Structure 1
Amino acid sequence: MGEVRKLQKKLRQIENLEIKISLSPEERFKISRKAELRSRLAELQLQLSGPQQTLGIVGDGKKEKMKRQVEDAPEALPSQTPPASKILKGEEESKAQATPAPAAKQRGRGGETEIGRQRERTEPADVSHHCRESDNERQLRQEEAEFTSLKSSWEKAKFRLRLLEGHNDIVTCVVAIDNLVVSGSRDTTVKVWHVPTATEHKNLGGHTGGVTCLSAPPPEYCKRLARSLSVSDKERFILSGSADCYVKIWALNIGQCVKSIYTFNAVTALCFVPEEDGYIITGSDGGKVQAWSWHTFENCQSINAHQEAVTSIQSQGPLVFSGSAEGGVSVWENRCSDRDPLRLLHHWSGQVTGCGGEGGRLTLSPRGDRVFLAHGRAWLKILHWRTGTMSRLTNHSSITGVTDCVHQTGGLLIGSCYDLANGESSLNLFSLPQCRYLTSLTWPDAPRILCFAAWTTGSGDHRWVTGGRDLIVWEQLPTSGKQKGDVTAKRDSRLESCSLESEGDTEDDEETDDDEGEDDNDHGRAGQRDDVEDSGSGSWLRCVLQ
């Protein structure tokens, strides 16, 4: 198993090297070995397949163990009370113990009367008990029927893909606004695309570093800014963050930058919080979280929140969630004040989440009391952020799978997956809130998906956009009339048997680093390590933005 992990590490290094702008001769040599390493890895996986596979995950024999499966009720936490059926059963047993048994011999009319009274006392409880059990069973049947119907509809789903060509480098972030898609790239540009015609609408140049993140303020906050700038109320604005330490605010219709905010740090993540006057929350390559007023654009707060680069920031009402390269997750409450609006509610380290490590890129998506985490492994992590308990959801049938991003749209949870061993990419769909596997979408030569955005049309059909090496729009089609090149759903039988698992610890997720330096030593470069394996505050920038 040690050689398998070493090969996986080398392939991760090569994948990160391939997205660098300039390559040294040594790096080019490493990339040339990718096919050879994949072939060797496939051979080893074939030898290890069979009895060592558990729940679709190939594991180390010493660490491998069956984790108990738990039911994940909608927005339920492990600390909540047991199911109603168990409570009723316990109450029934306690009542039976508390009620004295009738006399062995009942004589005369008085005894019959006493028995009748006892039946009157016990029968209503039994009826209530059976009614509640019946209601519970009915609800379970209804949920199962709804899931079966949803699964059946997605098994017939079809999408038509359209390539949006124009960026000269990797697309790092995407957002969707009405019929427009906005993309940010390592080529330093922000581009606006008209989806119905799949054409470039605007090219917004102004950043001098790679664009790392985008966010779209809601229409009402756009109107406030439009009025202050004396432009049309219909103007829509977009926020972009870059490695050049700037956050820029762009007016999409006129195609101009209307405001630049210098943050003193390379911006690696941002989001907009639509509370009170509105706030821009940014994360930096050094782990700093900052809040900026949407009204004055002044800095309201700066916090050294994480040890390494902040790689993801998302808002949910007044709550803000930040995730970092070392795997830590922080939950903040926005108190809507002019100074220090963010108050820390919880912080969970990488030791709790089991995230971080190679690649150093964690993305998150909050939902109620849960946060879905993607961190470059074959599964999605689920953090119950109020209690710190963890679950995980299998997103690939082999540990060579890499989950790059996670997204929620409607009742769907979507995780992107890339197989390091064969270069195949797919999107896996799960139902919410139960997190049950529905289907997968893939096509030949699908590129690695690093970012995702989604919206629905007026008719209720799905439209998605994915970014990475290619920027692609996905348009859902009717179930009939397939054309060549259309993507159809395909269920992965190996994922069907996988369900949500609880985690008592994270030791299964940790990979040993005993062979970390061997790849360089093989070619006489002892002690030298790849940039993608460096630790420190800028590790995520180095692996994604160089």
Structure 2
Amino acid sequence: MGEVRKLQKKLRQIENLEIKISLTPEERFKISRKAELRSRLAELQLQLSGPQQTLGIVGDGKKEKMKRQVEDAPEALPSQTPPASKILKGEKESKTQETPAPTARQRETGGSAQTSGWQERTEPVEVSDHCPDASGGGVDSDNEWALQQEEAEFTSLRSSWEKARFRLRLLEGHNDIVTCVVAVDNLVVSGSRDTTVKVWRVPTATEHKNLGGHSGGVTCLSAPPPEYCRRLAWSLSLSDKERFILSGSADCNVKIWALSIGQCVKSIYTFNAVTALCFVPEEDGYIITGSDGGKVQAWSWHTFQNCQSINAHQEAVTSIQSQGPLVFSGSAEGGVSVWENRCSDQDPLRLLHHWSGQVTGCGGGPGGRVTLSPRGDRVFLAHGRAWLKILHWRSGTMSRLTNHSSITGVTDCVHQAGGLLIGSCYDVANGESSLNMFALPQCHYLASLTWPCAPRILCFAAWTTGSGDHRWVTGGRDLVVWEQLPSSGKQRGDVTVRRDSRLESCSLESEGDTEDDEETDDYEEDNDEGEDSGCDVTEDEGSGSWLRCVLQ
């Protein structure tokens, strides 16, 4: 058992090396051993899957906690600081619980409610988005009917997603890992470690533009809203329909590209390798960048001058996202900061909260990678483990959402689309990949999407077609467009929709309920493989990853 755990750890470390923006010869050699280690792990798993192993046993004590349902997760504490008036520009939950629809066709039209279950909101909503208590304990009888209705609607939604079908199309052109993707109208823009930014026409799955100009790997992309594009287009004497894309790179530059002409119209030198960026659509607009040294910087969209530089994190900033006037930054050491944009020419960012890696439990060392997705008072965090972390950033409470039924699973990215929370899932032990979907805001597990020879997914973007169907694009080793097929007709999809019962039974837990799988990211050599780690862990090492559940 000790050797199994060590091999799992080494495979995880190799996978972390593999997605670095640049590799040394020594690191490339370590990566070359992945197939050998994976083969050895498979042999050990086969040996341990004999009759002496009792699969899926949940004993008493600490192991019993893995059976707890979503009602065990505590409701986020009320905000101790009332939100600023600007925050009202974000989301606001309607009194009727928001329920996502499998396609945008199920939106309300003409103000009349449709007969199909879950509907999208049309009115602006407040940023505050506390996860309601799903247990039903202590609920007034007046609300029982509403809870029953909500459960019926969720059952209908789950059933519709179990029947969903997607057609996959591969976009070929990059010769290295795709690190970032964004969607602009019917175009997909991708950035790669091969130093290029490419623009693709989705309907024809063809390359539209190849934007070469960076001398280092492209790490991040962002698309300013159309109104901010019009301002820049006017100043450059371009069409008012011009769209722009921002790209950040390890070459310390942020470049602004005009998509129709395929040219760089502005380049900002940041003096640091750019590892994350976002656009904040407030007042004149701001570009927020993060560096490999932990620095967060603000740049004016009007003058392109630096407004502020802050040594915000101890290690590389790996993700930056905006939500109204708020900016969220996450770093390799697991820290998360929340900033308010005060819309000033100097020092526009004011720190509201900072939570260290000790609080979030997302610390991964120098090779760590945290991806975040904010929603109201919650921030969903993907940090290379088998679960998603949820930070209630106003109170500092933590919970976690199971995203894989084995400790060999890693979560690289998390995204929200149309009332869905989507987490990527990759098993380092066997190379299987999938996408898990959860219904917001309760984070109820819906279904998992997988397909043959699925590559590891490192980035994700989503939008809807004119007919209301989902279109997604995923990047990693491959760049793939997902197109939802009509529910009627005889078309056959490329994607298999599956339900993992273990994800339902091990869904949402408070951070105090379980212990993290603590591991360092330092690569260990083989001379200690035979040593027993001494960890008291019951593992289901069977060959079927969909039926594995590790009990800690």
TM-score range, shorter chain: 0.7 to 0.9
Q: CA deviation at 1:444?
A: 1.1
* TM alignment of 1:195-206, pairs within 5 A: 195-206=202-213
Distance in 2 of aligned mates of 1:516 and 1:343: 35
Q: State the distance in 2 between where 1:133 and 1:262 align.
A: 59
1:242 lines up with 2:241 in the alignment: no
Does the CA contact (< 8 Å) of 1:221 and 1:278 recur in 2? yes
Asked if the contact 2:165/2:492 (under 8 Å) is kept, the reply is no
Deviates more, 1:332-341 or 1:63-72: 63-72
CA distance in 2, matches of 1:502, 1:344: 26
- The residue number in structure 2 matching 1:66 is 65
Letter in 1 for 2:442: Q
Q: Which residue does the alignment assign to 2:42?
A: 39
- Aligned match for 1:320, one of 308, 315, 327: 327
Kept in 2: contact 1:373–1:380 (CA 8 A): yes
2:487 equivalent in structure 1 = 479
The answer for the alignment partner of 1:461 in structure 2 is 469
Whole-angstrom distance in 2 between the partners of 1:306 and 1:53: 42
Could you tell me how far 1:29 is from its partner in structure 2? 5.3
Q: For residue 421 of structure 1, what is the aligned residue in structure 2? A: 429
Q: For residue 76 of structure 2, what is the amino acid of its counterpart?
A: L
**1:299–1:41: structure 2 CA closer, same or farther, 3 Å change rule?**
farther
Separation in structure 2 between the aligned mates of residue 35 and residue 219 of structure 1, nearest angstrom: 47
Q: TM-score, normalised by structure 1?
A: 0.80
1:432 corresponds to: 440
- How big is the shift at 1:482? 5.0
Matched with 2:373 is: 365
Q: Which amino acid aligns with 1:376?
A: G
Uncovered stretches (5+) of structure 2, i.e. residues with no partner: 81-138, 530-552
User: CA separation of 1:185/1:62 partners in 2, compared to 1, >3 Å: closer, same or farther?
Assistant: farther
Aligned partner (choices 264, 271, 275) of residue 268 of structure 1: 275
In 2, Cα distance between the equivalents of 1:204 and 1:259?
A: 13
Shift of 1:328: 0.4
Q: 1:519 aligns with which of 517, 522, 525?
A: 525
Query: TM-score, with normalisation over the residues of structure 2?
Result: 0.79
Paired residue for 1:96? none
Per the alignment, in what secondary structure is the counterpart of residue 144 of structure 1?
helix
Hey, what's the Cα distance between the residues in 1 that align with 2:169 and 2:371?
A: 25
Offset, 1:72: 9.0
Q: Is the 8 A contact 2:11 2:38 kept in 1?
A: no
- Of 150, 153, 156 in structure 2, the residue corresponding to residue 146 of structure 1 is 153
* Contact 2:13–2:522 (Cα < 8 Å) also in 1: no
Q: What SS does the corresponding residue of 2:475 show, helix, strand or coil?
A: strand
* Counterpart code for 1:3: E
1:170 aligns with 2:177: yes
Specify which of 376, 379, 383 is matched with residue 375 of structure 1.
Answer: 383
Question: Structure 1 267/80 Cα, relative in aligned 2: closer, same or farther at 3 Å?
Answer: closer
Matches within 5 A, 1:275-354: 275-354=282-361
The structural deviation recorded for 1:151 is 0.4
CA separation of 1:201/1:397 partners in 2, compared to 1, >3 Å: closer, same or farther?
same
Report the structure, 1 or 2, having the larger helix content.
1
Name the counterpart of 1:15: 15
> Any conservation in 2 of the 1:382–1:393 contact (CA below 8 Å)?
yes
Q: Deviations over 1:396-422 (max 9, x none)?
A: 011110000000001100000000111
1: CA distance, partners of 2:43 / 2:335: 34
Q: Which of 401, 410, 415 matches 1:402?
A: 410
Residues 512-539 of structure 1 show CA distances to partners (whole Å, capped at 9, x for unaligned) of: 55x966425469xxxxxxxxxxxxxxxx
Alpha-carbon deviation of 1:503? 1.3
- 1:69 CA displacement: 4.9
Report the counterpart of residue 130 of structure 2 in structure 1: none
Q: Which whole-Å CA distance do the structure 2 matches of 1:220 and 1:76 have between them?
A: 38
Matching residue's letter, 2:525? D
Q: How many residues align?
A: 465
| Preserved contact between residue 226 and residue 233 of structure 1 (Cα < 8 Å) | yes
Q: Following the alignment from structure 1 to structure 2, what is the Cα–Cα distance between the partners of residues 247 and 232?
A: 22
Give the CA RMSD over aligned residues. 2.7
Residues 11, 37 of structure 1: 8 Å contact kept: no
1:13-46 alpha-carbon deviations (Å, 9 max, x no partner): 3334555667458436523413323314533763
Structure-2 residue corresponding to 1:137: 144
Aligned with 1:209 (options 209, 213, 216)? 216
How high is the sequence identity, in percent, across the aligned residues? 81
For residue 39 of structure 1, what is the amino acid of its counterpart? A
In 2, Cα distance between the equivalents of 1:72 and 1:386? 21
Unaligned 5+ segments in structure 1 are 56-60, 82-131, 524-546
